[in-house]
Amino acid sequence: MTMEDAQHLELVNHLKDHLVPTAELEDLVSLFKSLGDLTRLRIILALAQTTLSVSELTDILGMSQSTISHQLGLLKQMNLVKGTRAGKNIHYRLADDHILTIVGTVKAHVEEQKK
C-alpha cells in the first residue's frame, strides 16, 4: 500500500467515524422541507420584518385564514415560529435569529447564482 493510499484510507475511516447521526440528518431534512414550501417561506419572510397576527398575514399574503393558520401550525411544530396571545389574537414571530441566518444565507446564494 502506498503512502497516498494509506492517507486516503485514514481519511475515509476518520470521516466514517465522524458522520452526522441519521436522526440528526432527518431533523435537518425536516427543517429544509418546512422551508421548502412557498407559503411557509412567505410567512417566514413576513415575520422576519415584524410580529404579525393571522389576520395581518392573511391581508399581506392574500390568502385565506385557514391556509395561514394551517401553515403557521406546521411552522410552530418545527419550532420556527412562536405565538403570543394578545386578547383574542395570537401574534407570531420567528422563534430565533437562526431562521433569519438560514433564509438569508440561502437567499444570498440564489442571488449570487443569478449574477
3-state secondary structure the chain: CCHHHHHHHHHHHHHHHCCCCHHHHHHHHHHHHHHCCHHHHHHHHHHCCCCEEHHHHHHHHCCCHHHHHHHHHHHHHCCCEEEEEECCEEEEEECCHHHHHHHHHHHHHHHHHHC
C-alpha radius of gyration, the chain, whole number: 20
Write down the pLDDT at residue 3: 84
pTM: 0.83
The amino acid at residue 93 is R
Q: Which domains does the chain have, with CATH numbers?
A: 37-113 (1.10.10.10)
Write down the pLDDT at residue 70: 97
Write down the pLDDT at residue 83: 95
pLDDT in tens, 37-68: 999 999 999 999 999 999 999 999 999 999 99
CB-based contact 72:43 (threshold 8 Å): yes
Task: Count CB-CB contacts under 10 A for residue 94.
Answer: 19
Low-confidence ranges of the chain (pLDDT < 70): none
Write down the pLDDT at residue 9: 87
All three cell numbers of 114, joined, read: 443569478
Write down the pLDDT at residue 13: 87
